[in-house]
Amino acid sequence: MDLQRDTEHTLLADSAERMLSENYDFSARHGSPADQGDDAAWADDMWRQFAELGWLALPFAEEDGGLGAGMVEISILTEAFGRNMVVEPYITTVVLCGGLVAAIGTPEQRAETLPAIGEGALRIAFMGGAAGDISVDAAPSGDGYVLSGARKSVIDAPMAGRLLVPARIGEGIGVFMIDCDATGVTLRPHRTLDGGRAADVELTGVNVGRAQMLGGLEDASDAIEAAIDRTIAALSADAVGAMAKLVEETVEYTKTREQFGKPISKFQVLAHRLVDMKVSEEEARAVTTLAVLSADAPASKRRRAVSSAKSKVGRCARFVGQNAIQTHGAIGTTADLTIGSYAKRLMVYEASYGSTARHAELYAAIIADPDTAGAGLLLSPAA
């Protein structure tokens, strides 16, 4: 048992925070609400910098051109993404899609995909949501399949060259890799709530060969679920970063904003609310650590940790987001301050890969067994 960050972790955290706070200009990337202009060139340049820093190759094995890091390093990075409101397709490309290819891809698929991700040459979006939430069917056809289906708001799809598509094959769920410009693929790009990019995607009779099916598996359900759980762990760290920033900014604001002749931080009702916000942030951080350190554990432990974290972090996120706005007063409701953008980012967290309520239900089903409910976290090791 050891929850201390080592020197390399601290270096990664510091360098990520420095790089992003200096170079990741939120307003340049997101534009004002009125300015929805094209910033693809800016994003491409940023992605190249991510590649140069090794971030895009972080979790992949050395034989796949990666750096062999784990979820702890990923979460350090994504926490910095949350603090700096990064909307690049990192978690979808590297953690979810890259992770899935690394987990079940054939040697050819891995060789063709992972080094390209690591070098920054390939971005991939995932045409699915929570585990089991599948909206595409794969019908056998000749040597391959025909994919049909549609999904709204496929996160990061407009920035991606490829899609990873989970699709029903009879009772199973296979995963297909297709090009975004393949015949039969239609993308309708739009902005997301948090300033990111997504597209409504429709697949009409998209022909795929067996070579495009990850690992040649007609049922990859377990691997999909595991990859989504890792994604949730990474996203939870992102949400913790956003919450930390909201708490910092709100505390700072109350120390400078004066009413009735004194800083409003001196009013006890506000002071105690700030404490509750800070406690929520720390709670979110603690349970995120549980998800991060359980990401590679056997499925039963991983599920418990991830659903515990997603449901708890979701509750903390809503509390912190709402009270950051409330504590700022009228100005908090405007688009002029970044706190509104952070609050939106947390709303996206809550809605992604299974809502707070959905994970609370998944968690309830797990701990409805009293033995599981009574099992401590430390003495039943995660792996």
Partner 1 sequence: MDLNLAPEDVAFAEEVRTFIDANLPDATRRAMTLTTAFLNEPELGYEWHKLLHKKGWSVPSWPDEWGGPGWTPVQKYIFDLESARAGAPVYNGQGSRMVGPVLMHFGTDEQKNKYLPSICSGEDHWCQGYSEPGSGSDLASLKTKAVADGDDYIINGQKIWTSFAHKSNCMFALVRTSTEGKRQEGITFILLDMDLPGITIRPIIGNGGDHEFNEVFFDDVRVPQSGRVGEENKGWDVAKYLLEFERGGALVAGRVRAQFAKVVRLIRDRGLIDDAHIRIRMAEIGADLDTMEMVDIRVLSDLQSGANPGAISSMLKMRWSSIRQEVSELALDAAGEDILKWEPERPLYDALQLPPDEEELLGIAPRYLNFRAYTILGGTNEIQAEILGKRVLGL
As measured in angstroms, the least distance from the Cβ of 350 to partner 1 is: 14
Output the CA angle 172-178-184, nearest 5 degrees: 100
Nearest to 319 by CA among 258, 275, 378: 275
**What's the token pair of residue 377?**
């976290």
As measured in angstroms, the least distance from the Cβ of 226 to partner 1 is: 18
The residue type found at 48 is: R
- Distance from C-alpha of 120 to C-alpha of 103, rounded to nearest angstrom: 20
294 lies in the site for partner 1, by CB under 8 A: yes
Q: Name the β-bridge partners of 206.
A: 147
210 lies in the site for partner 1, by CB under 8 A: no
Which one among 190, 266, 337, 351 touches partner 1, defined by CB under 8 A? 266
- Distance from C-alpha of 254 to C-alpha of 274, rounded to nearest angstrom: 9
219 lies in the site for partner 1, by CB under 8 A: no
Which one among 135, 311, 327, 352 touches partner 1, defined by CB under 8 A? 311
269 lies in the site for partner 1, by CB under 8 A: no
As measured in angstroms, the least distance from the Cβ of 375 to partner 1 is: 8
Task: Find the farthest-apart pair of alpha carbons in the chain and give their distance in angstroms, rounded.
Answer: 78
Which DSSP helix (H) or strand (E) runs through 164? strand 162-169
Q: Which stretch binds partner 1 (CB under 8 A): 149-157, 196-204, 317-325, 364-372?
A: 364-372
Q: Which stretch binds partner 1 (CB under 8 A): 115-123, 166-174, 322-330, 368-376?
A: 368-376
320 lies in the site for partner 1, by CB under 8 A: no
Nearer to partner 1, 139 or 279 (CB): 279
382 lies in the site for partner 1, by CB under 8 A: yes
Which one among 34, 41, 330, 368 touches partner 1, defined by CB under 8 A? 368
DSSP secondary structure, 23-47, as one string: H--HHHHH--TT-----HHHHHHHH
**Phi, psi torsion values for 66, nearest 5 degrees:** -100, -175
Which one among 168, 257, 315, 318 touches partner 1, defined by CB under 8 A? 315
Nearer to partner 1, 191 or 278 (CB): 278
**Nearest-10 crossing angle of helices 40-52, 7-23:** 160
Which one among 200, 282, 337, 347 touches partner 1, defined by CB under 8 A? 282
Which one among 51, 182, 271, 351 touches partner 1, defined by CB under 8 A? 271
- Distance from C-alpha of 309 to C-alpha of 350, rounded to nearest angstrom: 11
Which one among 67, 150, 193, 279 touches partner 1, defined by CB under 8 A? 279
- Distance from C-alpha of 121 to C-alpha of 248, rounded to nearest angstrom: 36
Nearest to 54 by CA among 110, 111, 94, 1: 94
Nearest to 284 by CA among 239, 350, 343, 341: 239
Q: What is the separation, in whole angstroms, between the first and last Cα of the chain? A: 12
358 lies in the site for partner 1, by CB under 8 A: no
Question: 3-class SS at 310?
Answer: helix
As measured in angstroms, the least distance from the Cβ of 277 to partner 1 is: 9
Contact 160, 178 (CB under 8 A): no
Contact flags string 62-81 toward partner 1, x per CB under 8 A:
----------x---------
58 lies in the site for partner 1, by CB under 8 A: no
Nearer to partner 1, 246 or 287 (CB): 287
Q: Which residues would be at the binding site for partner 1 (CB under 8 A)?
A: 1-5, 9, 72, 251, 254-255, 265-266, 268, 271-272, 274-276, 278-279, 282-283, 286-287, 289-290, 293-294, 305, 308-309, 311-312, 315, 357, 360-361, 363-364, 367-371, 373-379, 381-383
